[in-house]
Amino acid sequence: MEFVGLDVYSGKHRRITVEGGLIAAIEDAPVPQDGEQAAYLSRGFIDAQVNGYRGVDYSGKQLTVEEIGSLVGWLAESGTLRHIPTLITGGYETTRANLALIRRAREEDEHLRAAIPGVHLEGPYISELDGARGAHDAKHVRDPDIEELKRWQEAAGGLIRLVTVAPERPGAVPFIRQAVDMGITVSLGHCLPDDGQLRAAVEAGATMSTHLGNGSPGMLPRLKNHLWSQMAEDRLWAGLIADGFHLPAPALTSIARAKGLERIVLVSDVGSLGGLKPGLYHWGDIKVEVHPDGHLGLAGTEYLAGAGHLLDTCLPFFIRAAGCTMVQAVALVTDHPVRALKLDVPTGPWRVGEAADIVRFQAGGDRLRVLDAALGGWSQAYA
């Protein structure tokens, strides 16, 4: 299989040949002639926050190995060849069972093993307050418990790579230290800390903000609030949902300028109702509308009900808002998630002999057009 396009790492037009799941050759290729739309070549996108998609729910009680396989295939259509399953606040047994199921899915399938390099626990150690809590179930929100985390990590076979914590919760600081000692990245989110609590969490080892600007009450003090503090903290990576709905363009632009492109990870935060046909659905006891433009809203209101778009939409919107190039933006969904979460995934230019990890896509309009993709021995042509 051959991939021909503009290599985002070298800036040159390349032909990359894949044989037996490995990169067999990397050669210069002719520049497209006038009238031919160029394609980009990048490593596969990594989405660090995927709650589910097209009816599959990583936090649901009916999750199956087959559903995980289907979800991996659907994400690949958008260029996302690797993702971090995200389990939101829930009961101990459901979380344990789903972690074990994800572990088993990886053990049984080489493609899933490559496609899922880790798991994110978004809760239950978050704020119980309305607004900050978001759509998380209040009855399961609780204080950080390192022994519970260790049991979950055992069930996951060491797959937990990211945990979202509210730093103001009792016991959060020692929990953060211990989680970091376990090799887990701690992210701050669904929280309302003061400056002292935020600083203590960072000093303890927290290094990321979960979907900065979201998971927060609609009204905050004008100057003294945790969003300013997280934007100003250079030691924190910023996870951002750049779907055009969660952060208005001016807010996204301001956060990107404050953090700098070198400290941003783009995520979709896509939910289980994302990708479904427009209409009314039930997510638990909540009635959700999937709008014709793909975004999810609480039925009959202007409020969001999770995310419905993938990184093929987030990248173009971020580029327009931040005023950056495609080459710069691709790093935010490839190299940056690896660095922020300390994933065992290759980054940077390809090397002959390594496992294939390529997506070929075209830009233009509100969504990328993915043409082909390969990850190890798996490959797919879309156009």
> Residue 247 is which amino acid?
L
Whether 74 and 310 have beta carbons less than 8 Å apart is answered as no
In 157-266, alpha helices (H): 172-181, 195-204, 226-232, 249-259
Residue in this structure with the two tokens 């994110």, named with its chain if needed: 120
Cα dihedral sign for 233, 239, 244, 247? negative
Whether 82 and 267 have beta carbons less than 8 Å apart is answered as no
Whether 92 and 325 have beta carbons less than 8 Å apart is answered as no
What are the beta bridge partners of residue 336?
A: none
- Estimate to the nearest angstrom the gap between the alpha carbon of 156 and the chain centroid: 19
Whether 285 and 295 have beta carbons less than 8 Å apart is answered as no
Is 269 noted as a catalytic residue in this protein?
A: yes
Q: Which of 269, 312, 335, 357 is catalytic?
A: 269
Give me 7's structure tokens.
């290599």
Q: Which residues are catalytic?
A: 269
